[in-house]
Amino acid sequence: MNQVRKLLAATEGTPLYVIVYLAVNTGLRRGELLGLKWEDVDMGVGVAYIRRVLQKVGGHGYVFREPKTPKSRRSVALAPSVVEVLKKHRARQAEEKLLMGEDYNDLGLVLAQPDGSPINPSTLSGQFRRLAAKAGLHGLRFHDLRHTHATLTLKAGVHPKIVSERLGHSSVGITLDTYSHVLPGLQEEAARKLDEQLFGTASSRPCRAN
């Protein structure tokens, strides 16, 4: 959690802030984030609908494609703080659009260049890696933010099936296998909570008769 705060502090005031904030809070893949359009976001309900991914294909430029699997095409609930960040971001984007006038390439993208055009996925990864290094988080990759989201939600007690759905995994088994290193701690926490519910506290647990 401290690393997340450090990273957000390092990106605040930069174009990367909104991208990192969304990545940490939604667990979306890089291509899903960059392919997200405002028409996919219902800020009234607080939901983002994942309908496409952005890819840069040699010789073809930027291409929008449907998610690879049915489970990848999904809805992801947005926390109130995420909605607020998006509202402020949209207002800033509207100002940029007004300044650019006819030169603004309006593709309806949530995350875009100042002129509205798509963000190069590779460029984003490079910028993120350099900024993370400056923040003292050497070796941190953009994809690691997806792992951070999964780890934090699991540790918060969110059911693995829900985490799996948010990540767009094809099955909960993939989620459990990928984050098995987190589960032992969750098992201990579950046992402790059950103990408290049954007996009040661990110290008041009745002794077993000999």
Is the pLDDT at 189 greater than 80? The verdict is no
Task: Answer yes or no: is 209 within a domain.
Answer: no
Q: According to the model, what pLDDT value does residue 186 have?
A: 67
Burial degree of 165 (CB within 10 A; 0-12, 13-18, 19+): middle
Q: At what angle do helices 121-134 and 2-11 cross, to 10 degrees?
A: 110
pLDDT digits (tens, 9 = 90+) for 112-131: 999 999 999 999 999 999 99
**pTM as predicted:** 0.85
Distance set, CA 3 to CA 7, 16, 136, 151, 192 (Å): 6, 16, 9, 13, 27
Tokens of 8: 């957000």
Domain CATH for 114: 1.10.443.10
* The total number of structural domains that make up the chain: 1
pLDDT digits (tens, 9 = 90+) for 67-108: 989 999 999 999 999 999 999 999 999 999 999 999 999 999
When the pLDDT of each residue in the chain is averaged and rounded to a whole number, the result is 90
Q: At what angle do helices 183-199 and 144-155 cross, to 10 degrees?
A: 20
| Structural domain containing residue 46 | 2-202
- State phi, psi for 168 to the nearest 5 degrees: 80, 25
Task: Answer yes or no: is 208 within a domain.
Answer: no
